[in-house]
């Protein structure tokens, strides 16, 4: 019997008593003892993996463990002990990959396969390897209500979703990925918990009314008793790194974590991760989703930053999308000029202190000095697709050449690229928002809230009913489509782009000092990429218009490496006419 399986503890500083209620395989109630920090403790001499239990706080009833590692019966059921030492890992030779070399693939476990489980993903890993994907980013997998949800309403941040396969299933997936040379990143939510099954408030002051988030009261990161709250969330990072061999964390909406103390919660996370890297013997990464448009998110704490390795670059998507889909200007009113995409390529943030109509104020700061490897760029992700009322992917909004152009704009960028599941072959199944609440009042509130949210964004239609199980089933990938017709052709295009990025060191040089952008009116632009010594040069020409674009290559001998159109005999000494929605990559010989 492992020692850790015999000890139980729970933080409840304002309670005078606590009972450990074991319900399986035996039934037993044990009075717990409180220490000076407000933790209650109990030992069970013969506890084994699989034991199920509740805590009963003073004046309360059966309540799952806030640090539960598994909820086999869902968010309201008993917690179950998990012996993490019993899993035999096969990834001893895995030490991670440099961040700048990653090609991310974001997926939702439930919608990725018909089975909707971790283990069902494993047979698809060879397809990722063949495509060139070397980093999976899983949307949140911590326990949420029911069997279908995006995961951002999870309520047990340490527990792995039971319907996905629980702790064992996640370990098998990560283990298999590492053996294929694929890193695994996990999306986590530390800015709020979901409404159903959220019992933290029954134990301690985990929440505060001092700040408000879009989802209600904020997490208590800087009020009374906040030290232990910070430990609860920061320890969760170690839980994923140590127990599940996760390579990196993507933190959801870091701007909704409110902490006025020093050091800030995110700085504490950075500092601890630095220590864990040495302990675990591999590079660990923290990636942020941030609405600040501020470089302090990725700057080192010694320079006043939070220390994230990278952050998602939403401005890149907005600038790219409106140029390809002119109707997009209705929803992204501050975008639509080629100059903005040129700025996104050269600097990063498009909004860097100027007035923004959507916000009705100035927004952002310059990221010109931030390395390209500190930004992830994408043409699609779960939010971009799922927050449209019709859940439309770009495959149903754009033409085939436009899809090729969008893929090239991302993969040939001086940033770390991210694909959204199915994008690589033009999946046309929608990706809606979906959930599975059992509480009728929450179901009603969700429906009304979604309707109001979409009215505020002036969409032309109402959103689908997120609680309808058929809405979720519509989101399942149609993986077989990747092998036929235009879907196969698009997949081959992605393969070529990723291979080109891998084969040419110039494309993995993400130093902005080696990147030059030439704007070609409002029709297109040219990315000039070079190595540190200026000895190797690539030109990536993008025509974003529906008309031919005329351009003369710089003096020199150029070799055409890749285009999305049939090659023609183009003499670089003459002005060239590049067809609508085309991509051309040249290398100086």
Q: Is 166 annotated as a binding residue?
A: no
Helix (H) or strand (E) holding 19: strand 18-24
Contact 478, 493 (CB under 8 A): no
Q: Is 445 annotated as a binding residue?
A: no
Q: Which residues pair with 250 in a beta bridge?
A: 187, 287
Q: Is 384 annotated as a binding residue?
A: yes
User: Is 252 in the active site?
Assistant: yes
Q: Is 420 annotated as a binding residue?
A: no
Q: Is 382 annotated as a binding residue?
A: yes
- The burial class, CB within 10 Å (0-12 / 13-18 / 19+), for 489 is middle
Q: Is 252 annotated as a binding residue?
A: yes
Catalytic residue among 153, 175, 289, 424: 289
Helix (H) or strand (E) holding 475: none
Q: Is 255 annotated as a binding residue?
A: yes
Strands 285-288, 310-312: pairing is parallel
Catalytic residue among 137, 196, 252, 427: 252
Contact 204, 11 (CB under 8 A): yes
Q: Is 247 annotated as a binding residue?
A: no
C-alpha span between 2 and 5 (Å, rounded): 6
Q: Is 318 annotated as a binding residue?
A: yes
C-alpha span between 549 and 247 (Å, rounded): 43
Contact 469, 476 (CB under 8 A): no
Q: Is 314 annotated as a binding residue?
A: yes
- The burial class, CB within 10 Å (0-12 / 13-18 / 19+), for 173 is buried
- Structure token pair of residue 581: 């929605």
- Structure token pair of residue 22: 């074991």
User: Is 83 in the active site?
Assistant: no
Contacts of 330 (CB under 8 A, 6+ apart): 458
Q: Specify the 3-state DSSP secondary structure of 385.
A: helix
Q: Is 187 annotated as a binding residue?
A: no
Nearest residue to 478 via CA among 433, 435, 434, 430? 430
* Chain centre distance of CA 513: 28
Q: Is 383 annotated as a binding residue?
A: yes
Q: Is 504 annotated as a binding residue?
A: no
Contacts of 348 (CB under 8 A, 6+ apart): 313, 315, 316, 367, 368, 370, 372, 375
**Measured between alpha carbons, how far is residue 498 from residues 354, 393, 432, 504, 507 in Å?**
35, 21, 28, 10, 10
**Measured between alpha carbons, how far is residue 254 from residues 219, 258, 380 in Å?**
12, 9, 20
DSSP notation for 204-251: S--EEEEEEETTEEEE-SSSTTHHHHHHHHHHHHHIIIIIH---EEEE
Q: Which residues pair with 522 in a beta bridge?
A: none
Nearest residue to 187 via CA among 224, 230, 236? 236
Counting Cα atoms < 13 Å in the Cβ hemisphere of 241 gives 26
Please give the annotated binding residues, written as ranges: 250-255, 314-318, 382-387
Catalytic residues: 252, 289
Please give the annotated binding residues for substrate, written as ranges: 250-255, 314-318, 382-387
């Amino acid at each position: 019997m492992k020692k850790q399986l015999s000890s139980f503890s729970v933080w409840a500083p304002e309670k005078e008593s606590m009972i450990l209620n074991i319900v399986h395989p035996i039934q037993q109630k044990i009075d717990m003892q409180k220490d000076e920090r407000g933790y209650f403790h109990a030992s069970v001499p013969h506890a084994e993996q699989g034991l199920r239990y509740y805590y009963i706080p003073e004046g309360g009833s059966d309540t799952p463990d806030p640090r539960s590692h598994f909820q086999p019966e869902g968010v309201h059921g008993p917690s179950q002990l998990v012996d993490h030492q019993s899993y035999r890992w096969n990834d001893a030779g895995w030490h991670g990959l440099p961040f700048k070399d990653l090609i991310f693939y974001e997926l939702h476990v439930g919608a990725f396969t018909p089975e909707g489980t971790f283990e069902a993903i494993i047979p698809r890993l060879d397809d990722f390897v063949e495509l060139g994907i070397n980093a999976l980013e899983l949307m949140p997998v911590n326990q949420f209500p029911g069997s279908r949800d995006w995961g951002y309403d999870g309520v047990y941040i340490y527990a792995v979703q039971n319907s996905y396969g629980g702790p064992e299933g996640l370990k098998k997936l990560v283990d298999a990925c590492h053996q294929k040379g694929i890193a695994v990143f996990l999306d986590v939510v530390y800015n709020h918990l979901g409404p159903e099954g959220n019992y933290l408030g029954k134990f301690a002051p985990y929440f505060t009314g001092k700040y408000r988030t879009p989802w209600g009261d904020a997490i208590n990161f800087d009020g009374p008793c906040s030290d232990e709250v910070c430990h609860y969330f920061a320890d969760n990072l170690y839980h994923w790194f140590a127990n599940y061999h996760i390579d990196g964390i993507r933190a959801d909406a870091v701007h909704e974590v409110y902490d006025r103390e020093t050091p800030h919660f995110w700085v504490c996370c950075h500092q601890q991760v630095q220590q864990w890297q040495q302990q675990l013997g591999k590079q660990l990464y923290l990636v942020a989703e941030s609405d600040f448009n501020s470089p302090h998110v990725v700057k080192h704490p010694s320079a006043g930053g939070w220390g994230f390795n990278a952050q998602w670059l939403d401005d890149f998507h907005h600038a790219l999308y409106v140029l390809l889909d002119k109707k997009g200007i209705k929803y992204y009113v501050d975008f639509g000029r080629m100059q903005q995409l040129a700025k996104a390529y050269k600097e990063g943030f498009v909004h860097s202190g100027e007035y923004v109509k959507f916000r009705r104020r100035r927004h952002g700061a310059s990221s010109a000095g931030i390395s390209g490897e500190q930004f992830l760029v994408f043409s699609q992700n779960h939010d971009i697709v799922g927050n449209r009322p019709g859940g439309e992917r770009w495959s149903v909004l754009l033409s085939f050449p436009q899809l090729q152009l969008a893929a090239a704009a991302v993969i040939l960028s001086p940033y770390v690229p991210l694909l959204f599941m199915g994008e690589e072959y033009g999946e046309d199944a929608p990706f809606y928002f979906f959930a599975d609440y059992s509480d009728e009042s929450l179901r009603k509130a969700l429906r009304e809230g979604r309707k109001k949210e979409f009215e505020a964004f002036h969409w032309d239609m109402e959103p689908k009913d997120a609680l309808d199980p058929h809405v979720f089933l519509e989101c399942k990938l149609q993986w077989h489509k990747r092998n036929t017709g235009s879907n196969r052709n698009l997949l081959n295009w992605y393969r070529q782009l990723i291979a080109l990025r891998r084969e040419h060191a110039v494309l993995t040089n993400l130093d902005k000092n080696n990147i030059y952008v030439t704007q070609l009116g409002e029709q297109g632009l040219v990315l000039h990429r070079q190595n540190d010594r200026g000895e190797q040069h690539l030109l990536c020409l993008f025509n974003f218009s529906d008309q031919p674009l005329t351009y003369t290559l710089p003096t020199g001998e150029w070799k055409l490496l890749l285009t999305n159109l049939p090659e023609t005999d183009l003499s670089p000494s003459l002005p060239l006419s590049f067809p609508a929605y085309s991509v051309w990559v040249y290398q100086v010989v």
